[in-house]
Amino acid sequence: MMNRTDHTPRSGMKLFFTLPILSWALYDFANTIFSSNINTVFFPFYLDAQLGGSVEMEQVASTFISYANAFASFLLVIFSPLYGVWIDRTGQKKKYIVWLASLSIAATFLMGIFAVTTVQGEWLNLPVNLFFVIIAFVVAKFFFNSSLVFYDTMLSDLGTKEEIPLI
């Protein structure tokens, strides 16, 4: 997705059914699936199912969810300025989106693998595999949110100043 050099105005279906716009829409759809399903449905329900059973343990599960989200967000705050430098110096937004999204997908996949893997032992009174699921969630969420930094900067590449509000 590069800046348009052709300034001929597009309208109607010609505007929406281009490869960059369709790619953008599909990526946006995938982002919605990750953020709505992993962040708000499956991960919290998984922790509740693993740790729940009492009011105290449900509170522990909520605490782990909060800490995992906070730590992933903290990492994003630390790395976002670096991402801005990368965008300014290289202009290679798509390359970084692909890498960061791929790492997020891999970490999400590992969440599922760790969830079904039985590992003996505990760490901080948690089953070891649950600890690995939490770590994989932090990594997946960090890389997902990191890819959004590059994704958001690409919006201006999809069309002219007049077309952007329509997109």
Query: Domain extents for the chain?
Result: 16-157
> Which residues is 167 bridged to in the sheet?
none
For 8-26, the pLDDT digits (tens) are: 666 666 667 788 888 888 8
Mean pLDDT of the chain: 85
d(CA 134, CA 68): 7
Does the pTM of the predicted model rise above 0.85?
no
Q: Which of 21, 23, 10 is nearest to 163 (CA)?
A: 10
For 81-100, the pLDDT digits (tens) are: 999 898 889 988 889 999 99
d(CA 143, CA 137): 10
> What's the average model confidence in pLDDT over 104-108?
96
Say whether pLDDT at 2 is over 60: no
d(CA 36, CA 131): 22
Q: Which of 69, 51, 49, 42 is nearest to 126 (CA)?
A: 51
Which range among 9-13, 53-57, 111-115, 127-131 has the greatest average pLDDT?
Answer: 111-115
- b/e 56-73 (16+ beta carbons within 10 angstroms → b): eeeebbeebbeebeebbe
Q: Which of 149, 162, 33, 155 is nearest to 84 (CA)?
A: 149
> What's the average model confidence in pLDDT over 22-49?
88
